[in-house]
């Protein structure tokens, strides 16, 4: 059984991946109860699970499902700290979609 593809996206691609599992890496800009806002080349609302422990202004990688309202339901969150090159992250996202046949199957 093959693992489900989890394409790397940013806020710009949310609408294209509704009801799909994705990876988003961005900086935590807001925390409120069981939700957070991250900046991933645009604002993304995420609904946290009990295992998610985010730190304001740190980078975080979210694996989750894009909801119809373009928020993301978190399955897993990993804190990447504050020393990350977000320009490099954007370059990876760009390459993922420019050469999508390598990374995921477009429906």
Q: Could you tell me the pLDDT band of residue 3, with boundaries at 50, 70 and 90?
A: low
Q: Which tens digits make up the pLDDT trace of 28-79?
A: 999 999 999 999 999 999 999 999 999 999 999 999 999 999 999 999 999 9
What confidence tier does 101 reach under pLDDT thresholds 50, 70, 90?
confident
Q: Which long-range contacts (CB under 8 A, 24 or more apart) does 6-10 make?
A: 6/63, 7/96, 7/97, 7/100, 7/103, 7/104, 8/92, 8/93, 8/96, 8/103, 9/40, 9/93, 9/96, 9/97, 10/40, 10/41, 10/42, 10/44, 10/90, 10/93
For residue 97, name the pLDDT band (cuts at 50, 70, 90). Answer: confident
Reported as a single tens digit per residue, the pLDDT across 68-86 is 999 999 999 999 999 999 8
């Amino acid at each position: 059984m093959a693992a489900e593809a989890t394409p790397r996206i940013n806020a710009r691609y949310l609408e294209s991946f509704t009801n799909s599992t994705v990876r988003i890496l961005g900086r935590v800009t807001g925390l409120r109860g069981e939700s957070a806002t991250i900046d991933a080349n645009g604002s993304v609302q995420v609904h946290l699970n009990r295992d998610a422990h985010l730190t304001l202004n740190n980078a975080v990688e979210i694996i989750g499902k894009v909801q119809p309202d373009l928020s993301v339901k978190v399955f897993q969150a990993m804190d990447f700290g504050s020393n990350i090159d977000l320009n490099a992250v954007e370059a990876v996202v760009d390459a993922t979609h420019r050469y999508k046949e390598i990374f995921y199957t477009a429906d």
